[in-house]
Structure 1
């Protein structure tokens, strides 16, 4: 099953050094039965895009958490697409996150299909979204608009052999 794993550039650099994404358990996003049922008119490609978008939202939250912990993380959302066996994950039932899955094991880099990363031109909007995230969670409509604005940026696709270039 194709799973989209939220990440950050520092976490991806650590994964490259370790040879795997982890430690387990990991939260990811995939085309789940709940997502398929909810988004009944979509084809597989559209459903995978929804899962990718959910993972990008989670990446934004990871960036905010890194910043709160003093980690100097570039304001670029990162989503890693990987192929994992169906038996290695548990599908969630949270209606707010219909695509959410839990992986029981770390993901070897050999299972990574690609990385999706914000382009440099998205940085100002991602930075603003990180700053507005807490207020958006508290119900501030203007902050929610700012956070939603991050989704206006498409993530760039990087082949597995291009991932090390992201750290130069």
Structure 2
């Protein structure tokens, strides 16, 4: 998706779903300034990124099962990614979660404030979390522990103009 953003100069969120500091999120926390609440929304977005990675991994597994000659030397590389953007025209989605919003359009590259991506040292924990994200969502304590290991890694901050160079390095 990040490569598509660079190539197309815009990105459309899957199902137009995004995360933001919403009135419901403000109500859910007794204290916290906008920066702290933005970190909460970012963490929710990072967890959603894990779900996308898990979905892609399941599709890759299905493709690998159908291709008998496929034998990758190294397994897939998993890194969470979150795009921070300044957008208007969102609709609140409290039926999903306090920080969830629906976007009304694709996000142009010019609206991207920053991109946040896991560093290489997070890959082992993120890979394990991808495998158990569904179980963690269902309350499995062992899966939640594995998920916590991944979420202990802070996402690295990159300016939007650095994204093409970052993708070349991955």
- Give the TM-score of the pair, scaled to structure 2: 0.85
Distance 1:16 1:73, change over 3 A: farther
CA RMSD of aligned residues (A): 1.8
Provide, for residues 27-68 of structure 1, a one-character-per-residue CA deviation record: whole Å limited to 9, x for no partner: 111110000011131111100000100000000000001111
Please give the secondary structure, in 1, of the residue aligned with 2:19.
Answer: strand
Distance 1:70 1:149, change over 3 A: same
**Residues 1:48 and 2:34 aligned together:** no
Task: Using the TM superposition, give the Cα deviation of residue 24 of structure 1 relative to its aligned residue in structure 2, in angstroms.
Answer: 7.1
Counterpart in the other structure of 2:167: 167
Show structure 1 runs of 5+ residues with no match. 1-10
Find runs of 4+ consecutive structure 1 residues off by over 4 angstroms: none
Which structure dedicates a bigger proportion of its chain to strand? 1
- Give the TM-score of the pair, scaled to structure 1: 0.86
CA radius of gyration, larger in: 2
Matched pairs, number: 155
Provide, for residues 1-35 of structure 1, a one-character-per-residue CA deviation record: whole Å limited to 9, x for no partner: xxxxxxxxxx1101211110116751111110000
Match of 2:47 among 42, 52, 57: 57
Counterpart in the other structure of 2:126: 126
Please give the secondary structure, in 1, of the residue aligned with 2:83.
Answer: strand
Provide, for residues 66-113 of structure 1, a one-character-per-residue CA deviation record: whole Å limited to 9, x for no partner: 11111886310000000001xx1101113x620100001000011000
Mapped to 1, the partners of 2:150 and 2:161 lie a distance apart of: 27
Mapped to 2, the partners of 1:53 and 1:36 lie a distance apart of: 15
Match of 1:38 among 28, 31, 40: 28
